[in-house]
Amino acid sequence: MRQLHAAGVSLLAAAVLQLTMVADARGADQRLERGRYLMTSLAACGNCHTPRGPDGASQFDRELSGGPPVKEAPFDAYPSNITPDTKSGIGRWTHAQLKRAIREGIRPDGSLIGPPMPFGFYRGMADADLEAIIAYLGQVKPIDNVPPKSVYRIPLPPAYGPPIKKPIKAPSPNDVVAYGGYLAGPVAHCMECHTPMVKGQVDLNKAGAGGNPFNGPWGTAVSRNLTPHESGLKNWSDAEIEKAIREGVSRDGSRLKPPMGYEYYKSMKPEDMKAIITYLRSLKPLPMGG
């Protein structure tokens, strides 16, 4: 009897274990699914880390293997190879090391990752989304490529902030403005490009006012004013804003240039698009450039 009972207990234990494994596998699938969605639509790390052709279009067959240089007065920055190649990519980095690198800008050897990677916003990325992005990174095609070393003509800060120790959760999608702000900030860093800079730092009192120049094979593109001001999106319909974000076509029909990330944003879910537009309409109206 005792033996039978023991067998029953171990059968039960086996069943529980199997259920846990099924739940884990399902959790892993969902994580990768979310990661794929974020990386191919909102987060768009490839907008910097994927190579571009001479016309500025992304070369997705070499996804994340090192992007074109970002040249500004204080630096020539070369976006790293972040494929899982074990020699020249991040294949040997642990999950915890990747978390710290992406959100806090610190490599496994303790060195600081330089600008323009938008750590001011990435520090606010929710654990679940960060983990989803890391799951996606793990299954990208490994490519052996060593980009040149970045040159910084300014001293880098010792860190982008104190170590992140507390869990970070995204706002509820039911709080549309807060969730839109989370997507336009920590996830997609729209506000990094579209907010005026003071000494290389975005000035959040002028959130969304635009005016930052971006140079590349496309010439110079200046980020636009996304606030509800006459010189911004005040008189635009939601459909017009959506068309600019998704298709890269402005209200007057002109084509927008990179690095505005419409190559990615075209895959954004309608509810995320709506949240971002609602958030932009909640911004303080400011003239172009603040």
Residues that bind ligand HEC (CB under 6 A): 43, 45, 47-49, 70, 77-80, 82, 90, 101-102, 107, 113-114, 116-118, 133, 150, 184, 188-190, 193-194, 214, 221-224, 226, 241, 244-245, 250, 256-257, 259-261, 265, 276
- Residue 149 DSSP SS3: coil
* Least gap, CB of 147 to ligand HEC (angstroms): 8
* Least gap, CB of 114 to ligand HEC (angstroms): 3
* Least gap, CB of 281 to ligand HEC (angstroms): 12
In sequence order, the 6+-apart residues with CB closer than 8 A to the CB of 231 are 225, 287, 288
* Least gap, CB of 253 to ligand HEC (angstroms): 10
> 2 or 255: whose CB is closer to ligand HEC?
255
* Least gap, CB of 248 to ligand HEC (angstroms): 8
- Residue (of 130, 65, 210) closest to 202 by Cα position: 210
Amino acid occupying residue 159: A
* Least gap, CB of 201 to ligand HEC (angstroms): 14
Q: Which residue reads 């330089």 in tokens?
A: 114
> 22 or 90: whose CB is closer to ligand HEC?
90
Name the β-bridge partners of 77: 70
* Least gap, CB of 8 to ligand HEC (angstroms): 48
Query: How far is it, in rounded angstroms, from Cα 139 to Cα 33?
Result: 12
Contact 238, 273 (CB under 8 A): no
Contact 151, 75 (CB under 8 A): yes
Q: CB 151: neighbour CB atoms within 10 A?
A: 13
Whether residue 259 has a cis bond before it, omega within 30° of 0: yes
Contact 190, 261 (CB under 8 A): no
Query: How far is it, in rounded angstroms, from Cα 84 to Cα 171?
Result: 31
